[in-house]
């Protein structure tokens, strides 16, 4: 039963929208015929049907059907449908079950851009999902991204109507678009010269500390760490009181080289290297980690990580 309208959205195009809640897990498994649509707007029923794609995606991962995984996902999530999926055929564990339910849907308008929406599933673990209508069908672009705290409050009025942040908004809109670049600056600058800050205890603070420690943890190997942006559109939902909830992604590339002989301490472990590359004694390892994020950006520019997922996306070796 759909019973709550609530959504705000901004993206590259910032548009009015609506949202809804589904009290139970998705019913039925949609087929490509009833998922594909050219409609410029999205309603709660269509969002619930698109969310049902998670069942097909779960089956695809369980069956190690990498073509189906690629078909059902869009960037950046599709980055896990290539070599990361192929590695499951060589012993890499498949992702955890995608059996999520008790869902809130936050649906932005689609005028002038591709339809998309955010789902917040409350069971079994509160997690965000972002779906995009791409190439004539719905695809999962991000998710699950598990919350690390409480979900932020979205901006709705007394009638539960949505309020959009205008595309030319010089404040919240600009801050939302700059959030990924600020994350890149922060994680690439252990000395703190960029001026970007996160609160003590924030997931980004812990991640930076981890990246700084990594080279000493893999000695005697040599390790370089490079943080990169993931190309694509930044999606965001407007918050109550101003600010935005931004959905974005980063890559961390670890370049590891043995001082002598083989790599002693592969970043993701020897089993992961074998699953991705088939090599047992590599002299060099390059590993790519995909980091999916939901970040609140306050009116004063302060950023807080509210959801995070980290997954190895690729490993090569020589």
- Domain map (residue ranges) of the chain: 17-147, 172-317
In tens, the pLDDT along 227-244 reads 999 988 888 888 888 999
In tens, the pLDDT along 253-271 reads 999 999 989 999 999 999 9
pLDDT at residue 27 is higher than 60 = no
Architecture of domain 172-317: Roll (3.10)
Query: Rounded to an integer, what distance in angstroms lies between the CA atom of residue 49 and that of residue 39?
Result: 14
CB 311 within 8 A of CB 290: yes
**Which H/E stretch holds residue 169?**
none
pLDDT at residue 6 is higher than 90 = no
**Which H/E stretch holds residue 39?**
none
Query: Rounded to an integer, what distance in angstroms lies between the CA atom of residue 167 and that of residue 209?
Result: 36
pLDDT: which is higher, 37 or 214: 214
Query: Rounded to an integer, what distance in angstroms lies between the CA atom of residue 249 and that of residue 115?
Result: 19
Question: Which two three-digit tokens encode residue 192?
Answer: 């703190």
In tens, the pLDDT along 34-93 reads 444 444 467 788 889 999 999 999 999 999 999 999 999 999 999 998 899 999 999 999
Residue % of the chain over a pLDDT of 90: 66
**Percentages (nearest 5) of helix, strand, coil residues in the chain:** 25, 30, 40
Displacement of CA 42 from its chain's centroid (Å): 21
Residue 108 pLDDT grade (very low, low, confident, very high; cuts 50, 70, 90): confident
Residues, the chain, total? Answer: 318
pTM attached to this predicted model: 0.85
**Which H/E stretch holds residue 134?**
strand 127-134
């Amino acid at each position: 039963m759909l019973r709550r309208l609530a959504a705000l959205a901004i993206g590259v195009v910032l548009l009015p929208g609506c949202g809804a809640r589904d009290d139970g897990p998705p019913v039925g498994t949609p087929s490509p015929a009833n998922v594909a649509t050219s409609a410029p707007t999205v309603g709660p029923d269509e969002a619930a049907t698109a969310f049902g794609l998670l069942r097909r995606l779960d089956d695809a991962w369980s069956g190690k059907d990498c073509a189906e995984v690629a078909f059902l996902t869009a960037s950046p999530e599709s980055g896990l449908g290539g070599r990361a999926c192929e590695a499951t055929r060589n012993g890499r564990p498949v992702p955890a079950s995608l059996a999520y339910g008790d869902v809130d849907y936050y649906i932005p308008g689609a005028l002038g851009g591709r339809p998309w929406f955010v789902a917040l599933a409350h069971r079994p673990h509160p997690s965000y999902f972002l779906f995009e209508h791409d190439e004539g069908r719905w695809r999962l672009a991000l998710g699950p991204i598990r919350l690390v705290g409480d979900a932020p409050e979205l901006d709705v009025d007394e009638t539960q109507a949505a309020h959009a942040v205008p595309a030319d908004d010089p404040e919240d809109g600009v801050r939302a678009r700059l959030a990924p670049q600020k994350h890149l600056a922060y994680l690439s600058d252990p000395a703190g010269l960029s001026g970007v800050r996160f609160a003590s205890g924030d997931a980004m603070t812990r991640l930076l500390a981890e990246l700084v420690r990594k080279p000493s943890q893999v000695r005697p190997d040599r390790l370089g760490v490079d943080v990169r942006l993931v190309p694509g559109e930044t999606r965001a939902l407007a918050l109550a009181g101003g600010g935005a909830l931004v959905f974005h992604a980063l890559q961390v590339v670890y370049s590891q080289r043995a001082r002598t002989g083989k790599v002693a301490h592969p970043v993701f472990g020897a089993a992961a290297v074998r699953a991705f590359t088939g090599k047992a004694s590599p002299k060099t390892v390059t590993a790519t980690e995909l980091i999916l994020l939901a970040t609140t950006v306050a009116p004063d520019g302060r950023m807080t990580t509210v959801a995070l997922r980290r997954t190895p996306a690729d490993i090569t070796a020589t």
